Amino acid sequence: MDDSYREARLLAISHIGISHKSSGTVYNFLLRKGISGEVAQSVVHQLSTDGYIDDIRMARSIIAKRSGRSTESRSVLFRRMLQAGISREVMDAIKDEVPEDRDSITVLTDAKLMPDLMRQISLDSFDADIWMNKAFRFLVSKGYSPSLSIDTLRNRIRDVE
């Protein structure tokens, strides 16, 4: 084991500390510190093997944090994983654990929008068009397609009536 590998490994371990970091984050950190790509890749691979880095755990953590009232579409979740430095291979491995948009939008609508609708209906100032537009924009902002957002809102409101 040469000195550059040892130095890179120590740098990476101190960067990880007690937090959880993805392989991409540690790799980019090592590159910024002047470690060669080859050594950085070798260190990241070994740290993954040793359990210091666990991209699957990181991906599952992102999925778990984005549930219930914080639910987001599959495409937004995968984009978050990429931004967190999680490899496409890991994303492919856990893709079945990411809910389909049709399922997750229903969870989000039931957790966040329907309780708000029920509160708003009882108010004298309730305007259904304003609420529907606001709810639609909210769902689209979470990464859902406009057509799925409209269909979901229509179906959920129909259930309330």
47-99 per-position pLDDT tens digit: 888 888 899 999 999 999 998 889 999 999 999 999 999 989 999 999 999 99
On whether residue 132 sits in a domain, the answer given is: yes
On whether residue 14 sits in a domain, the answer given is: yes
The band of 11, judged by pLDDT with boundaries at 50, 70 and 90, is: confident
pLDDT of residue 1: 54
On whether residue 105 sits in a domain, the answer given is: yes
On whether residue 139 sits in a domain, the answer given is: yes
Number of domains in the chain: 2
**Distance, CA of 52 to CA of 128 (rounded, Å):** 52
Q: Which structural domain, as residue segments, surrounds residue 18?
A: 1-53
Indicate the pTM of the whole model.
0.78
pLDDT digits (tens, 9 = 90+) for 112-156: 999 999 898 888 888 989 999 999 999 999 999 999 999 999 998
Query: What CATH number is associated with residue 48?
Result: 1.10.10.10
On whether residue 71 sits in a domain, the answer given is: no
Are 4 and 35 a contacting pair, CB within 8 Å? Answer: yes
